[in-house]
Chains A and B, each alone.
Chain A
């Protein structure tokens, strides 16, 4: 899409050159209070917060102009997160911090902006940049701390970890072992917690639930999907050096004065 857009000859009739936009990457939480608000509703909730905060958001051209916001990755209904991302386009260059402060004054409880950076147009979009995701999973009472401790090594030590992947038309056995970057026992004080580091994004994507389901199956436990809680810790991208970092780390500027310095 982008490549095509660049080839448009704006001197021709009927095309107006789009105004310059400034893209801000926003990192935010999705807490207990809003964990039942779905992805589309989170988008609308941000649109309205931006209006209330009177931020100079950019609108699309055309008949029904809409705010130019895009979000990284939908979170399963009921899960919480401290690592959600969106790319918001503004029509004016403003201090990244102002976006964070103003939004935090008006967002509903449970959604808090943690980071805001001005990025360049060349930066890969949040959605496209995702390569991994980290989660904390809160297991139900069946899975005790000791049971987990004794068996986690064996589970991950399997030659392959097969799950049934369901698509619209078919079901097929898939090995997810290579998509589990890490799995650790983080239980504390009688609460069984499992840390997961999984492949995510458009190329390879593994949700935490199938992993837990296969772990339960491996342990011979019944899997009650509604009894288990998921918390997303971070969404990650890969740097040129091959390191995995948060989507807003190592890109853009937190302060407009940094741009001047670069020049």
Chain B
């Protein structure tokens, strides 16, 4: 395969192998022999995109169809982009190294709001008009999915349709329909119209939005008789029978996560009130341990990876965890394959397991108390008590760990100075806990690192109506925490509030945000999630140029009767439930997890998972 980029240019850019493909298990097809060419577009660099499980699943899922060739498309890093623009080289796919403009579909996965300018930039690099209304029959159909697609409105003007939910459910039907439409000589418009039969497909052009004078949405109405008033995400009911690839793309260069990935379950029983994933992925649906062991064997054999990672939102909640862990240990220890366990709750069981499973240099253990005080942890429904944390730390210290990392959020609803002070106090108590141990159990000085990120209220959470702190408030709060941290064994880092403020605007944005995204892109914003490239001033200029007020989106509390931009979408969890959860938050009341007691959130409507256990 001839590389799309000439050697002379590849030699001058960072990590040229980002662009040349040829990985193990890459799918090779002759484009002439397929009916549908699908570009799976990841709006970030190769190393990030290749670490994304959704890409690995959908790549093989789509390619299992003989009539479809799914190829990968990544955002070129700025050094290559410059050369591409200089030499008029349009955006190309990894597999065939061909221009993506000739593809039938470009499917972008939206994992993070701050990748939206990259979506626009990739369309532009491909030579495709950015706004859906400007595109013609010759252009590919632009579809977006992924967790950020649950509030599609900021990108609505750029996208032909949004896929809401899990890809395995509807893509076959959609592609069949596309093929049929093509055979019947139907137009793109015909196809989009036919998509209206699906509950989980949102075609923005079939909906009109009217605004009140104060900027709120006055009405959101379908303008086509078949456009559904309410859309609902698509959900896989049975995780054991759903398609899962038996191989993985094995990159030839270093990427962020380069390992066999086992997906234990989807959803989370916990219901932490700040966590969008905890609501939009409901209900919890597990795979059986036998299914996972079988998948692990096949994936290791096909990839040659030296590590298996167990992925879920909260691995400790996996009901067959001991069985799975023992099975994996038995199978893979002799093969020199290690097992990594992100998202573990630290308790006696998991520490014991880590001793067995991971060839860890006892580097550091991570806790995520999220809030410093018990009061605020109750507000966010983080069911973790100070006792749990201290007990976990004590066990970890006794087990030989001397470094502890703690994650907090600042700017949570109802937060007071007391709660911020409590962050420092909790950290200090952990240090004290260490020094309460007998001297022979303390080989080294303890090191506790606390990090705080800035809370961003997200759609489909009980805090979707809440005001986000302003940039200045965040800064003030971080300083407050810092002031109270005195012990030398304690380190405190805080995240950039500018990026979080902006994320807060876009996350709950409506269609008007499109103008800002477009303007920011025009001003040169891209890779905004990369701190070295993020240009806050350009963004502020984009808001000024478009007359859009950031505070309206980020720092304003909404009333319960306001029409929210994502109200035409259901993730199963009812708005009523979210309101109830918010009221409980204000009363500092916790809600039991899904296995303790059903709280009737609404996700039972999908007919599967934990709701029927």
B300 to chain A, nearest CB (A): 8
Interface residues of A in 211-238 (CB under 8 A from B): 225-227, 229
B304 touches A63 (CB 8 A): no
Q: Which of A41, A59, A65, A78 contacts B252 (CB 8 A)?
A: A41
Chain B residues, Cβ within 8 Å of A71: none
Q: Does B306 contact A (CB under 8 A)?
A: yes
Q: How far is the CA of A108 from the CA of B250 in the complex (A)?
A: 10
Q: In chain A, what residue has the closest Cβ to B26?
A: A108
Contact flag A52-B304 (CB < 8 Å), given A37-B252, A59-B336? yes
Q: How far is the CA of A109 from the CA of B20 in the complex (A)?
A: 12
Q: Does A36 contact B (CB under 8 A)?
A: yes
Q: Does B253 contact A (CB under 8 A)?
A: yes
B22 to chain A, nearest CB (A): 5
Q: How far is the CA of A106 from the CA of B250 in the complex (A)?
A: 12
> Given A36-B10, A47-B306, A49-B304, list of 7 further CB < 8 A pairs?
A36-B16, A38-B17, A48-B304, A48-B306, A51-B305, A52-B24, A64-B359
A48 touches B305 (CB 8 A): yes
Q: How far is the CA of A52 from the CA of B7 in the complex (A)?
A: 31
A33 touches B253 (CB 8 A): no
A34 touches B8 (CB 8 A): no
Q: In chain B, what residue has the closest Cβ to A225?
A: B11
Q: Which of B11, B24, B300 contacts A77 (CB 8 A)?
A: B11
B20 touches A36 (CB 8 A): yes
Contact flag A63-B252 (CB < 8 Å), given A33-B1, A34-B22? no
A-B CB contact pairs (8 Å), 20 listed: A36-B10, A36-B16, A36-B17, A36-B20, A37-B17, A38-B17, A41-B252, A44-B254, A47-B306, A50-B304, A51-B304, A51-B305, A52-B304, A59-B336, A64-B359, A65-B336, A78-B7, A108-B23, A110-B22, A227-B8
Chain B residues, Cβ within 8 Å of A37: 17, 252-253
Contact flag A33-B20 (CB < 8 Å), given A41-B252, A63-B359, A77-B11? yes
Q: What sequence of 0s and 1s flags, for each residue 57-79 of chain A, a beta carbon within 8 Å of any chain B beta carbon?
A: 00100011100000000000110
Q: Which of B8, B11, B254, B305 contacts A41 (CB 8 A)?
A: B254
B17 touches A52 (CB 8 A): no
Chain A residues, Cβ within 8 Å of B301: 52
Q: Does A162 contact B (CB under 8 A)?
A: no
A41 touches B17 (CB 8 A): yes
Q: Does A163 contact B (CB under 8 A)?
A: no
Chain A contact residues, majority secondary structure = helix
Interface residues of B in 337-392 (CB under 8 A from A): 359, 361
B225 to chain A, nearest CB (A): 52
A108 touches B24 (CB 8 A): yes
Q: How far is the CA of A110 from the CA of B253 in the complex (A)?
A: 15
Q: How far is the CA of A188 from the CA of B318 in the complex (A)?
A: 66
Chain B residues, Cβ within 8 Å of A109: 22
Q: What sequence of 0s and 1s flags, for each residue 125-161 of chain B, a beta carbon within 8 Å of any chain A beta carbon?
A: 0000000000000000000000000000000000000
Q: How far is the CA of A67 from the CA of B17 in the complex (A)?
A: 24
A32 to chain B, nearest CB (A): 8
Q: In chain A, what residue has the closest Cβ to B17?
A: A36
Q: How far is the CA of A45 from the CA of B252 in the complex (A)?
A: 6
A148 to chain B, nearest CB (A): 21
Q: How far is the CA of A66 from the CA of B433 in the complex (A)?
A: 37
Q: In chain B, what residue has the closest Cβ to A65?
A: B336
Q: Does B303 contact A (CB under 8 A)?
A: yes
Chain A residues, Cβ within 8 Å of B305: 48, 51
Q: How far is the CA of A51 from the CA of B300 in the complex (A)?
A: 9
Q: In chain B, what residue has the closest Cβ to A41?
A: B253
Q: Does B219 contact A (CB under 8 A)?
A: no
Residues of chain B whose beta carbon lies under 8 Å from any beta carbon of chain A: 1, 7-12, 16-17, 20, 22-24, 250, 252-254, 300-306, 335-336, 359, 361
Q: In chain A, what residue has the closest Cβ to B338?
A: A64
Chain B residues, Cβ within 8 Å of A40: 254
B350 to chain A, nearest CB (A): 21
A103 to chain B, nearest CB (A): 11
Q: In chain A, what residue has the closest Cβ to B23?
A: A108
A48 touches B303 (CB 8 A): yes
Chain B residues, Cβ within 8 Å of A110: 22
Chain A residues, Cβ within 8 Å of B20: 33, 36
Q: How far is the CA of A59 from the CA of B337 in the complex (A)?
A: 12
Chain A residues, Cβ within 8 Å of B303: 48, 52
A226 touches B304 (CB 8 A): no
Chain B residues, Cβ within 8 Å of A59: 336
Q: How far is the CA of A65 from the CA of B333 in the complex (A)?
A: 11
Chain A residues, Cβ within 8 Å of B10: 36, 78
A38 to chain B, nearest CB (A): 7
B359 to chain A, nearest CB (A): 6
Q: In chain B, what residue has the closest Cβ to A107?
A: B24
A61 to chain B, nearest CB (A): 12
Q: In chain B, what residue has the closest Cβ to A52?
A: B304
Q: How far is the CA of A74 from the CA of B174 in the complex (A)?
A: 49
Q: In chain B, what residue has the closest Cβ to A50?
A: B304
Q: In chain A, what residue has the closest Cβ to B254?
A: A41
Closest 8 CB pairs between A and B?
Answer: A48-B304, A51-B304, A52-B304, A36-B16, A36-B17, A226-B11, A226-B8, A33-B22
Chain B residues, Cβ within 8 Å of A226: 7-9, 11-12
Chain A residues, Cβ within 8 Å of B8: 226-227
Chain B residues, Cβ within 8 Å of A227: 8
B403 to chain A, nearest CB (A): 18
A78 touches B11 (CB 8 A): yes
B406 to chain A, nearest CB (A): 27
Q: Which of A47, A52, A78, A229 contacts B302 (CB 8 A)?
A: A52
A253 to chain B, nearest CB (A): 28
Q: In chain B, what residue has the closest Cβ to A110?
A: B22
A77 touches B1 (CB 8 A): no
Q: In chain A, what residue has the closest Cβ to B1?
A: A33
B589 to chain A, nearest CB (A): 47
Q: How far is the CA of A226 from the CA of B9 in the complex (A)?
A: 8
Chain B residues, Cβ within 8 Å of A38: 17, 253
Interface residues of A in 92-113 (CB under 8 A from B): 106, 108-110
B24 touches A48 (CB 8 A): yes
Q: In chain A, what residue has the closest Cβ to B252?
A: A37
Which interface residue of A33, A36, A47, A109 has the most chain B CB atoms within 10 A?
A36
Chain A residues, Cβ within 8 Å of B304: 47-52, 106
A191 to chain B, nearest CB (A): 15
